[in-house]
Amino acid sequence: MTDPLLKIEDVSVEFPAHKGVMRALDHVNVEAGKGKTMAIVGESGCGKTTLARVVLGLQPTVSGSVTLNDDLAVLPDTILAQRIGMVWQDPFASLDPRWSIGRIIEEPLKLAGADGDVTQILKSVGLTPAMADRFPHQLSGGQRQRAAIGRAIALRPPLVICDEPTAALDLSIQAQILNLLQDMQQDLGCTYLYISHDLATVRFIADEMTVMYFGKVVEQGNAANIFDDPQHAYTQRLLRSVVTIDSLGRVPDVEEQDETEEALTV
Ligand SMILES: Nc1ncnc2c1ncn2[C@@H]1O[C@H](COP(=O)(O)OP(=O)(O)OP(=O)(O)O)[C@@H](O)[C@H]1O
Ligand SMILES: [Mg+2]
């Protein structure tokens, strides 16, 4: 890849388990290009959020490194916040209920001692200036996620991590939020690390994609190519299960799953 903004190299993470340790990430490598969207996909528990926490410096690793623009991403929190914006799955949980929307968006600017126009940020995420005085519970789910995106991009960070940003939203609102993320990327030129198990949204937004299975990367590359011609048995199963559930209303049968398990043990 030419000029990656984010480089995750050989990252492994372990958690204590009842029999020794559990490897949540196993020698993971991911690169995300400037102004591009790298999606991280895989089933629940495969390590997606753990990877996001590593990039944010919140999760200790047993090996590996994360670099942003070739700087080791072990930085003071205030500098890290200027470099990485974060949008979590559930805007209700991630926004302080006691703070007005204006204060929530202003906070990263204040912490960094940076200039920024809250009204302008509200407008850029499709909210009205009057919403600055409202509180999270007075907004709809989609509006709350717009506010969370406003907070994430307030400092115009080069990297924004979105961890299941549409999972808590109705289908019609999901599309609006994806469009907003795309518009922001065009305006700000930011790179997205877009975490999701919803392949329909990944197909829409991703340039590149990394498929994870139990803490390991099993397939990586151009997203459109992987959707058209998945190489790994697990990716094939993942994509097939979307088609099956969406169009046929059934989950893959046991035989199909067994075949995949065999292929994966290679
Ligand atoms: N703090 C922790 N202590 C112990 N185990 C953890 C901790 N955080 C995550 N894990 C385990 O690490 C694995 C990966 O978890 P992670 O939350 O990264 O998965 P995920 O891919 O984000 O899943 P989901 O799609 O459900 O959000 C899981 O088995 C999880 O139980
Ligand atoms: Mg997660």
Provide the pLDDT for residue 248.
40
Provide the pLDDT for residue 74.
60
**Cα separation, 189 vs 187, whole angstroms:** 6
Q: Cβ(24) to ligand 1 under 6 A?
A: yes
Pairing of strands 191-195, 216-222: unpaired
Q: Cβ(23) to ligand 1 under 6 A?
A: no
C-alpha separations of 252 from 192, 230, 244, 261, 264 in Å: 31, 17, 7, 13, 16
Tokens of 164: 């299941």
Report residue 199: phi and psi, to 5°.
-70, -20
- pLDDT tens string, the chain, 266 residues long: the values are 567 999 999 999 999 998 899 999 999 999 999 999 999 999 999 999 999 999 988 899 999 999 988 776 665 665 666 789 999 988 778 899 999 999 999 999 998 888 889 999 999 999 999 999 999 999 999 999 999 999 999 999 999 999 999 998 988 899 999 999 999 999 999 999 999 988 999 999 999 999 999 999 999 999 999 999 999 999 999 998 775 444 444 444 444 444 444 445 43
**Cα separation, 158 vs 151, whole angstroms:** 14
Provide the pLDDT for residue 241.
77
Task: Walk me through the domains of the chain, giving residue ranges and CATH numbers.
Answer: 4-93+156-223 (3.40.50.300), 230-266 (no CATH)
Whose tokens are 């307030």? That residue is 154
Closest of 177, 113, 183 to residue 148, by C-alpha: 177
**Cα separation, 83 vs 161, whole angstroms:** 11
Helix H or strand E segment including 185: helix 171-188
Pairing of strands 37-41, 191-195: parallel
Q: Is 84 helix (H, G, I), strand (E, B) or coil?
A: strand
Pairing of strands 71-72, 63-68: antiparallel
Give the ligand at the shortest distance from the Cα of 22.
Answer: 1
Residue of 11, 15, 22, 211 to test ligand 1 pocket, by largest number of atoms within 8 Å of CB:
15
Q: Cβ(124) to ligand 1 under 6 A?
A: no
DSSP state of 166: T
- Ramachandran assignment for 74, one of left (phi > 0), alpha (psi -120 to 50 degrees), beta (any other): beta
Please, are residues 46 and 212 in contact by the beta-carbon 8 Å criterion? yes
**Cα separation, 217 vs 7, whole angstroms:** 14
Pairing of strands 20-33, 71-72: unpaired
Whose tokens are 């470099």? That residue is 83
Tell me how far the alpha carbon of residue 48 lies from the centroid of ligand 2, in angstroms.
5
Q: Is 212 helix (H, G, I), strand (E, B) or coil?
A: strand
Provide the pLDDT for residue 249.
42
Please, are residues 155 and 116 in contact by the beta-carbon 8 Å criterion? yes
Tell me how far the alpha carbon of residue 25 lies from the centroid of ligand 1, in angstroms.
10
Tell me how far the alpha carbon of residue 64 lies from the centroid of ligand 1, in angstroms.
19
